[in-house]
Amino acid sequence: MIFLYLISIIPAMVGIILYVCNKKVVWLEWLGSVAIALFFSAIIHAFVIYGTCKDVQTLSGQILKAVHYPEWIEEYTETHTETDEEGNVTTSTDTHHRTHDEEWKAETTLGDEYDITKSFFSEISENFHNLTTEKPYKDGFDSGDPNIYVAYNNSKFVYPVTSIRIWKNKVKAAPSVFSFAKVSKNIAVYEYPPNSDWLKSDRLLGNVPLNLLEFDRMNSRLGPLKKVNVIIVYFGNKDSSMGKWQQAKWIGGKKNDLVICYGGEKNNKADWSFCFGWTEKEIVKRNIETIFLDNKIDNSLLPLIEQEIKKNYQIKDWSSFDYITIYPPTWSYWFLIVLTIISQTVFWFWAFNNSYFKRA
C-alpha cells in the first residue's frame, strides 16, 4: 500500500520546484497540492481494502416476537411566523392530522425487524400461544386504537431466520496464500447460497434428502450457541475431488461456515464425504465426515450433526489472519496516476491564475 502514497511525492516535488521558480506560488498553495495528492491516495487505499476484503456471512436465529400496530390518528401543530414591512411579527398555529397505517412486524433474535402479513401474524400468535395487549406512548394520539398487540414466544415454537452481515475477509483478498486454485468454468460447483429469504435458507445444495425447515431450525439453535453456519452439498455420483473444488470456489468458506460435501449413487447414502470450514478444531470436520459415511442421510442425521458441533466446533479466530498484506491491483496504480495528473493540473491552473497570497 505504501506505493500508493509514494505517488503523492511527485506532486510535492513539482510543487517545491514551482515554489522556488515562480513568485505566483506561495507555500499554502504548495501545501494544498500535497493535501489533494494524499487525499486521493487515501481514497484509493480505502477503496482497495473495502473492495478486495468485503465479504458476507450468514447468521442464524429465530423470530422473537410479532407485533400488530393498529391504525391510529395523530394530531400535530405547525407554527408559522410572518414579518411585515414595518417589522411586526405575526405568529399563527395550524392543527393537522396524520394517519399511521395498520402494520404487522416480526422481530428476531438477531436484532432485525421485518414487515409481515396479517395472516402470518395470526399464524405466529397461534403457534406462540401468547398474545398480549400493550399501550405504548403515542405522541399526539387523537383517535384510533391506542394499543399494540404483541405475540411473545411462550411455546418454544421455532421460526428459523437468517440474516446477512458484512465482514472483512483478508483470506478472500489473498487466496493464493492458502493454495486455493482457480476453479475452471467446466467444473460444476455451486455458487455461494445467497439466503435472500429471511425465513427460508438456501443451505441445502443439490438433492439433499433433509427437511429444510428442520435443518434451518438446527442452524437456529447452533448459530447463537456456536456462531456456526452449516451448509450441506450433494454432488450425486461425482467423485470426491468435487469437495476440494467446492472448497476452492468458496475460498475455504465464509467466516462461520461449516460445509459438508458428499456424493454417492443414492442421495441418502454417502460413498464419500468431505467437510471444510474455518475452525480452531479440525476434529469436528473429520467426525462429521464419519457421521455421513456411517449413517443413512435423512432427518435422523440432524441430531448427530448438532451434537458433534456442540461438542467440538470452535469458530476460527480471524485476528490470526491480520498478518496478511493486501496488495493493490495494478489498475489501481494507473487509476491513481491519471487521477493525480488531472487533479493537479486543475489545481495548479487555479493557483497560477488566482490573486491570493502572491509573493512580492
Mean pLDDT (the chain, rounded): 89
The pLDDT value recorded for residue 195 is 95
Q: For 274-293, what is the mean pLDDT?
A: 96
End-to-end CA distance of the chain: 41
Q: What percent of the chain has pLDDT over 70?
A: 95
Q: Choose between 308 and 356: higher pLDDT.
A: 308
Flag whether pLDDT at 252 surpasses 80. Answer: yes
Report the pLDDT value the prediction gives residue 44, as an integer from 0 to 100. Answer: 73
CATH number 3.10.310 given to 170-320: yes
What SS3 string covers 49-91? HHHHHEEEEEEEEEEEEEEEECCEEEEEEEEEEEECCCCCEEE
Q: Where are the domains of the chain?
A: 2-57+339-349, 59-152, 170-320
pLDDT at res. 360: 57
Q: Burial-class residue 329 by CB neighbours within 10 Å (0-12, 13-18, 19+).
A: exposed
Report for 16-20, 177-181, 224-228: range of highest mean pLDDT: 224-228
SS3 assignment, position 346:
helix
Alpha-carbon span 68 to 151, nearest angstrom: 9
Taking alpha carbons only, the member of 109, 80, 105, 81 closest to residue 94 is 80
Place of cell 467423485: 239
The CA radius of gyration of the chain, in Å to the nearest whole number, is: 30
Q: Which residue has the higher pLDDT, 190 or 3?
A: 190
| Per-residue pLDDT, 321 | 74
Q: Mention every residue, 6+ apart, whose C-beta is less than 8 A from residue 281.
A: 312, 313, 314
Poorest-confidence range of 168-177, 233-242, 286-295? 168-177
pLDDT in tens, 86-138: 778 788 788 999 999 999 999 999 999 999 999 999 999 999 998 999 999 88
If residue 32 lies in a helix (H) or strand (E), which one and from where to where?
helix 27-53
Q: Cell digits for 74?
A: 395523530
Phi, psi of 129 (to 5 degrees): 55, 35
pLDDT on residue 26: 76
Confidence at 356, pLDDT banded by 50, 70, 90? low
Mean pLDDT of 270-281: 96
Please report the pLDDT score of residue 93 as a whole number: 86
Q: Is 255 left (phi over 0), alpha (psi -120 to 50) or beta?
A: alpha
